[in-house]
Chain A
Amino acid sequence: MWIYEKKLEFPVKIGKTDPATAQLIMSQLGGPDGELAASTRYLSQRYSMPWNEIKGTLTDVGTEELAHAEMIASIVHQLTKNMTPEQAKKSGFDKYFVDHTVGIYPVSAGGIPLDAKYIGVKGDVIADLNEDLAAEQKARVSYDNLLRLIDDPDIREPLKFLRAREIVHYQRFGEALRVAQENMDCRNFYAVNPSFDK
């Protein structure tokens, strides 16, 4: 189970209205390398993991990603809550507005809704942890790209925090992979799937 804490992991306080920027950042909620896909990926992979260090890492990183989804949603909310129909039209946010008004709905920057295809679960510790290492790097690149496009310091600060978290998670998943390999046959890591073969 989970317990809610009534605060963000890192402060988000944005005064201006900027739907064009909101549309870009929304990708980190509903896009292929976004926080919702990440959270569901890690929390789903836990069940077939054979070692405690890895169960713990996936539980805690998956939980932290939920807090990141909340930060992204808060950024998008604050950038659009006072939007006028004219601003929606001028910024290109009007297409999203037709279906979702100023609600938070997970889509990519290109408008493609969140898809379960983004959630890699193979049921094999080596395959899944390598998926996670790649996922953290892909999310880091998305934050790099957002930071190339966005100048406002109030928006950049939380994005920089989230970018740094991707790097730390990559490090932790690397250690989880090391733990897995130490527990496996060092002459051939692929001899068995320890998540299945008994």
Chain B
Amino acid sequence: MSEREKLLKKVQVLDFAMTETALYLDTHPSCTAALEYYRTLLAEKKKAQESYECQFGPLVQTSAAEGDKWTWIQCPWPWETEE
């Protein structure tokens, strides 16, 4: 696994936990333990996303306009693998 894939996996793991918790919260909106868990995940995910993006480029479009070039379109796209 490349360094890029490792950092991306970290974001994917945290994002998945958030997706899962959000779905649970949709039918249990007053569960304080789930809310607290979601907030913890969100803080960790923000950090993981930042450390990925500063090395390997934007995961969301709002992170793509920071330098002197539009980095959104750079490779690889999600369906592409590193050769």
Chain A interface residues (CB < 8 Å from chain B): 3-15, 53, 56-57, 60-61, 64, 70, 73-74, 77-78, 168-169, 172, 175-176, 178-179
Contacts and interface: CB of A to CB of B under 8 A. Distances in A.
Contacts of A6: 58-60, 72, 77-78
Interface of B: 5, 8-9, 11-12, 15-16, 19-20, 22-24, 26-29, 58-61, 72, 77-79, 81
Contacts of A5: 15, 59-60
* Secondary structure type dominating chain B contacts: helix
Contacts, number: 73
A57 B8 contact: no
Nearest to B25: A56
A4 B12 contact: no
A172 B26 contact: yes
A60 B12 contact: no
Given A53-B29, A168-B20, A9 B79 contact: no
